[in-house]
Amino acid sequence: MSDSTIPPEITDSHCHLDFPDFAGQLDDIVARAAEAGVTRMVTICTRLRNEPSVRAIAEAHSPVFYAAGTHPMSAGEEPMATVDQLVALSRHPKFVGIGESGLDYYYTADSAQAQKTSLRIHIEAAQRTGLPLIIHARAADDDMARILAEEYRNAPYNCVMHCFSSSAELAKAALDLGFYLSMSGIAAFPKSQDLRDIFAAAPVDRVLVETDAPYLAPPPHRGKRNEPAFTAHTARTGAEIFSMDYAAFAAQTQANFNRLFAKAAAYKAAA
């Protein structure tokens, strides 16, 4: 970092500010984020019935944007989303992404079929809106790579593999489609060298940073509640991975975010 007391700006591309962990504290959470240089956040709605409350957070806090979808771990118990429903939600000026959707066979393999159906619905919504798809992938690499590629051949779309911690093979499959990998606090864990190596092999112009708050706090806060301000710790790890000055890496991730989440970038420019 430069000698300036103002930290470089970065964006927490994925957090969950509607979770009970943050109840009654959002003004402080947003203020601490700003102090750390985190000037934008995308808060993610994981069950569509919660969309009104997530939308309200984005409306109440100028640095906060939002996305909505049905999380794969909820796909078997929530009403199946429709493409029209997601497209309608996307008309809100601060709605900037579709999801998170995806596949999770680690905890919820029993709902695999519902997850795959839900994933294809979310992909179609991304294709129709032009907004980026936000993907959660765990223990489902083969199906994930296959479905993403099949649907991309049908109609191109943009996508970020959020909180990427899967295999090098899935990383390559996503990057080959032009997609992005998002780095969470997991990349800063001492035992995550294999994951750091995967990121190091990726193009630096295809990397985002995130918290997934309230989960996965990076060191030195590991084991505690995560919050958007801690994106800065993960971004410092990213700078080390790519052998870049922190300010340069921060600027690169900002450019990457602005390219992928173009609606959020345009909103900021117009504000």
pLDDT, mean of residues 87-116: 98
CA 197 vs. chain centroid, Å, equals 20
The helix or strand, by DSSP H or E, that contains position 39, with its residue range, turns out to be strand 38-45
Kindly state the tokens that stand for 121: 């619905």
For the stretch 28-78, pLDDT in tens is 999 999 999 999 999 999 999 999 999 999 999 999 999 999 999 999 999
Q: Which domains does the chain have, with CATH numbers?
A: 10-270 (3.20.20.140)
For the stretch 157-179, pLDDT in tens is 999 999 999 999 999 999 999 99
pLDDT at site 268: 63
For the stretch 186-237, pLDDT in tens is 999 999 999 999 999 999 999 999 999 999 999 999 999 999 999 999 999 9
87 closest CA partner among 143, 113, 48 = 48
Residue with tokens 């489609």: 177
Query: Which amino acid makes up residue 67?
Result: A
- Asked if pLDDT for residue 270 goes beyond 60, the answer is no
State the pTM of this model. 0.96
pLDDT at site 4: 59
